[in-house]
Amino acid sequence: MWENVKLEKEDNIAILTIDRPKALNALNTKTLLELKEAIDFISRDKNIYVLIIKGGGDKAFVAGADIAEMKDMNSIDARNFAFLGQEIFRKIELLEIPVIAAVQGYALGGGCELAMACDIRIASTKAKFGQPEVGLGITPGFAGTQRLPRLIGVAKAKELIFTGEMITAEEALRLGLVNKVVEPERLMEEAMEMAKKIISKGQIAVRLAKSAINRGIETDIETGTAYESEVFSICFSTHDQKEGMSAFLEKRTPDFKIK
């Protein structure tokens, strides 16, 4: 269907691969447009409950935006390129379903920004993270200046962006940038295990919880808790709430359905 991205499904899990290994999966316009189409396709497939995003090959998740393409851009070209990346990463962030980034190797610049747009990041011990754009005379352009401070705090985000320093997976874990670090051969196994664990829960509740977290983190506590009370009450109109509580009281495994 696409040249630079690949989509596979296993039961209710979608695996989306940025597949330009010879270019370390760098994001050029063609790849971004294909990624946009793939995310739109996934958003319409009601049988997908979790999305895993990974890079092709074993050297990189995504090593960044394509410098060869960016080199001769003018201001308008660069603005449009930034808007395109921001739009797609926001689509990922706003997907109803949870999104897991399985990060192997380099996640730099646009690759780090892509990982940050996902809900959960699992990294291999060989992963490297960074926003090295100032070394090229530019700023991060796919919302790195916005998501990195929200994830690890303003002071450390400024340090990493101002210096362009790369950090290891272990340092990323310490800072809260990633959720788990595993050996490279266990990366996809760990991502699949987490996806299956999420799938075993009530899917309406999972999606509403994601919505509440995403909305609440951008607003004041009163607005956030008011929205939480709304999604909490909506759960009580679902089959899953009745089934989940009955199963708990009856000491059995719940049979959740999206209803």
193 is catalytic: no
Instruction: Considering the candidates 133, 185, 193, 218, report the single residue annotated as catalytic.
Output: 133
CA 77 and chain centroid, separation: 26
Tell how far CA 169 is from the center of its chain.
Answer: 16
Q: Which two tokens stand for residue 92?
A: 């990922």
- What region does 258 belong to: left with phi over 0, alpha with psi -120 to 50, or beta? beta
- Reply yes or no on whether 34 is catalytic: no
**Options 113, 171, 189, 190, the catalytic residue:** 113
Output the CA angle 250-252-258, nearest 5 degrees. Answer: 105
Q: Which residues are catalytic?
A: 113, 133
